[in-house]
Amino acid sequence: MDHTRWIAAGGGAVPEINQLSLAMDLGLAREVFGADTGLVLFGSGPGAFVQVLDEQPPAPTLRLRLGELFAPRLAREAHYEPAQLVIHGDATQRNVLELLRISATVGRGPLVFYVAAHGDVGETAEQNRIALWGGADITPESLATMLDRVGTHRPIRMVITTCFSGGFSEVMYRGAHQANGLGASPRCGLFSTTWDRQASGCDPDPDRRVHEGYGVHFLNALRLRDREGNTLSLRDLDLDGDGHVGFLEAHARVRIVGESIDVPTTTSERWLRATAPTEGARLAVALPEDDAVIRGLGLELHLEPTMENARRERDALEHRLRDLESRLEPLTERLEQATETVSAMFLARWPVLDDPWHPAWEGTVARDQAELEALFADDPSVRDLEATRAQQARAEDAIGELEVDLARHERLVRALEDRELAERLHARGGAAWATFEALLACERGAMQ
């Protein structure tokens, strides 16, 4: 274990959320970080299944239509196959934390902890969760507490791509609580989104070219590639001119090119927002990564990247989003009512239809198949349900497109705010500024 430079963990609590893209991200992480220098932990371990989208949607059989009515699940449009991934162990809470503990204790140099999984939000950032195989989870509190007990001075660099992943910026503090001060070991991280936002990146589609999320852009940037595998120029990605693409530079590329709902963040940004003055003197500081984001997003959004412009456009998009969401609410209520109406109609005549494990279910469906299919085809309440379902799907698609646009504007606003906060913290100086510089140095590290 003394040679372990990285641990990559991922998957979901059950196979239904072991989407193929998560396994592909972990495979790419292994390639980028060095195949013989780390460990891959995924799902249930070697032989774990991944969810793969079918080439064609399944035919709308009676069984599937009943399933959509009584127990809708997107997973019925997918199949399962063993992950094409070198897996060293299962991604259970116990195994992940134990291997991190051992590696942090006996290893040398920075230890990278990469996560491609699912996340849940807590009441506060330190209570956010990474959901792992079997249902147990890791929180910022549990991870920070383990590192505190180890007492290692080995730097820990996290790259976490889950929903609400920004909550793990709290790991830089003892026990993941700001009031306790910074941990004994250097701990920094780069995250797909802020502590209170969802993230993209969980996709069962086998076509890698359509995957969108933090991991696919971040990891490809480290190997001088775009998502489609095309070669990128070192000059364009090496923002500080040191001849390497560091983690923070790859993070900057995600912020510029990502067409997702992600709003990536870092521990250094968290520190700025906790300690920097919001007014007063400003002193220039070199932030090539934020400068690239401001410049790149300004071009992408066809916007002069000033604070006034960025906030105005962001606020206008938020207003439009609230309007669309208000229109969705009555549609959702209509869909619920239509579903209840149709369900009640079927159950009044066939009480076991909502329980496919009931011993009478198969016989009931086989006996009355023609009558059941006729109702699905001709009943007005069923047609109303299907029309409402389609209308809601169109409204959700419109909201999704607007959320992506809003996320890109939010990234620009935050980059501008971070630059301003950094200049104010620089003017103040002292220990808080030194900590910010140390976090940046940790985040800028590269796998060499």
Q: Tens digit of pLDDT for each residue in 169-220?
A: 999 999 999 999 999 888 999 999 999 999 999 999 999 999 999 999 999 9
CA nearest to 408, candidates 329, 320, 296: 296
Mean pLDDT over 233-249 rounds to 95
Contact 203, 215 (CB under 8 A): no
Question: Residue 247: which of 353, 160, 181, 305 has the closest Cα?
Answer: 160
Please state the separation of Cα 329 from the chain's center in Å: 26
What is the C-alpha end-to-end distance of the chain, expressed in Å? 19
% residues pLDDT > 70 (the chain): 99
Residue 184's pLDDT is what? 87
Contact 143, 38 (CB under 8 A): no
pLDDT digits (tens, 9 = 90+) for 35-57: 999 999 999 999 999 999 999 88
Per-residue pLDDT, averaged over 402-412, amounts to 98
Q: Classify 116 as helix, strand or coil.
A: strand
- Domain 6-62+74-286+429-443, CATH among 3.40.50, 2.40.50, 3.30.1490, 2.30.30: 3.40.50
162, 140 contact by CB (below 8 A): no
Distance CA 153, CA 337 (A): 58
Structural contact between residues 23 and 83, judged by C-beta atoms closer than 8 angstroms: yes
Cα pseudo-dihedral 242, 2, 214, 311, rounded to 10: -60
Q: What is the pLDDT of residues 316-354, one digit of tens each?
A: 999 999 999 999 999 999 999 999 999 999 999 999 999
Best CA proximity match to 47, nearest among 74, 21, 18, 77? 18
Which residues are CB-contacts of 11 (< 8 A; sequence separation ≥ 6)?
Answer: 17, 18, 22, 23, 42, 43, 48, 91, 116, 117, 132, 133
The token pair that represents 119 in the structure block: 């996340």
The candidate with the shortest Cα–Cα distance to 269, out of 441, 439, 139, 431, is: 439
Q: Which residues of 243-282 are buried (b: 16+ CB within 10 A; e: fewer)?
A: ebbbbbbbbbbbbbbbebbbbbbbbbbbbbeebbeeeeeb
Q: State which H helix or E strand residue 187 sits in.
A: strand 187-191
Residue 279: helix, strand or coil by DSSP? coil
The β-bridge relationship of strands 49-53 and 156-160 is unpaired
Please give the torsion angle defined by the CA atoms of residues 116, 120, 124 and 127, in that order, rounded to the nearest 10 degrees. -70
According to DSSP, the residues that pair with 189 across neighbouring strands are: 158
Residue for token digits 């979901």? 12
Q: How confident is the model at residue 298 (pLDDT cuts 50, 70, 90)?
A: very high
